């Protein structure tokens, strides 16, 4: 006797498909959160490594590296290369005997300077002469143009002072680890290597001509804030909501004022830093 096998009806098939779609919808956010958590950890590890490299450089040279050297214009990251296991690249660049130009070495992407949370896929930065992209900029109170600032000048406390912060290359202008060129860069400023607290964290780049200098802001694609390495080598996540001075939203260099983001930026302004702010 033949037994007829009953197949799925159209309604049953649609119900199954709907259930699968719901399950996928529930699963995708979890997968995305897991990926972002891993990316954020990688960014934090990069900052830990860069903070340690800054201390190693200081141990040898008794000062932090310059944000950019004069007249060669090599950025602070170049001087850290021997301390992030890139001695061979440092030797090939030869920053003590050459000036910065785009070449095979200065357009090379390095993972220690790249945050995987940045959605921008470019390996070079179009704002800065197509030099190799970086997602990290330094605090000019610690490393300025041609400077050699010793740790002893950070009188507000190493654990209360920002050393390095993040900046993405999608809603912002990113950075360039090799340095910059005033004459040839699209923006023509030190924002290739330096970050400032004149705008709140995650302020987007306003686009050229950017008369308010939004391009100096720190930023990331982590939810609600960005990662920072402090002068003691610790890494902290600062929220977008941490207050900065609205009167200083301009191209002028920041000046001390009693706002949490500014207090963390200045190394010796004398203002009290509240640990609840970070």
Q: How confident is the model over 175-181, as a mean pLDDT?
A: 94
The whole-number pLDDT of residue 98 equals 96
Specify the pTM. 0.86
Question: Rounded CA gap, 240 and 243, in Å?
Answer: 8
CB-count exposure of residue 214 (10 Å: 0-12, 13-18, 19+): buried
| DSSP H or E segment with residue 192 | none
pLDDT at 9 exceeding the cut of 80: no
The whole-number pLDDT of residue 122 equals 92
CB neighbour list of residue 173: distance below 8 Å, 6 or more residues apart:
125, 127, 167, 187, 191, 205, 215
Average pLDDT, the chain: 90
Above pLDDT 90, what percent of the chain? Answer: 78
Q: Pick the residue with more confidence: 13 or 92?
A: 92
Question: Rounded CA gap, 147 and 106, in Å?
Answer: 22
> pLDDT category, 27, cuts 50, 70, 90?
low
Helix, strand, coil percent values for the chain (each to nearest 5): 35, 15, 55
Lowest mean pLDDT among 33-37, 49-53, 241-245: 33-37
The whole-number pLDDT of residue 105 equals 97
Question: Rounded CA gap, 77 and 193, in Å?
Answer: 9
pLDDT at 7 exceeding the cut of 80: no
pLDDT at 12 exceeding the cut of 80: no
pLDDT tens string 39-59: 778 899 999 999 999 999 999
Q: Pick the residue with more confidence: 187 or 124?
A: 124
Residue tagged 């958590």 (tokens):
37
């Amino acid at each position: 006797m033949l037994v007829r096998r009953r197949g799925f009806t159209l309604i049953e098939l649609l119900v199954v498909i709907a259930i699968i779609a719901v399950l996928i919808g529930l699963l995708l956010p979890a997968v995305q959160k897991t990926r972002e958590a891993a990316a954020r950890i990688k960014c934090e590890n990069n900052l830990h490594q860069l903070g340690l490299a800054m201390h190693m450089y200081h141990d040898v040279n008794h000062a932090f590296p310059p944000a950019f050297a004069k007249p060669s214009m090599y950025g602070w990251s170049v001087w850290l290369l021997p301390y992030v296991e890139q001695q061979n690249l440092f030797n090939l660049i030869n920053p003590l005997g050459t000036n910065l130009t785009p070449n095979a070495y200065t357009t090379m992407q390095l993972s220690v300077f790249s945050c995987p949370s940045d959605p921008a896929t470019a390996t070079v930065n179009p704002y800065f002469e197509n030099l190799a992209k970086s997602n990290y900029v330094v605090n000019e109170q610690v490393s300025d143009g041609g400077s050699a600032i010793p740790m002893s000048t950070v009188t507000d406390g190493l654990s209360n002072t920002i050393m390095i912060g993040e900046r993405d290359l999608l809603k912002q202008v990113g950075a360039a680890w090799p340095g910059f060129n005033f004459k040839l860069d699209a923006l023509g400023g030190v924002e290739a290597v330096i970050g400032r607290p004149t705008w709140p964290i995650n302020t987007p780049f306003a686009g050229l001509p950017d008369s308010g200098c939004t391009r100096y802001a720190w930023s990331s694609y982590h939810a609600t804030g960005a990662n920072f390495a402090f002068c003691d080598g610790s890494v902290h996540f600062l929220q977008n909501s941490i207050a900065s001075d609205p009167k200083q939203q301009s191209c002028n260099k920041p000046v001390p004022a009693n706002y949490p983001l500014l207090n963390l930026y200045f190394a010796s302004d004398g203002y009290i830093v509240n640990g609840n702010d970070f």
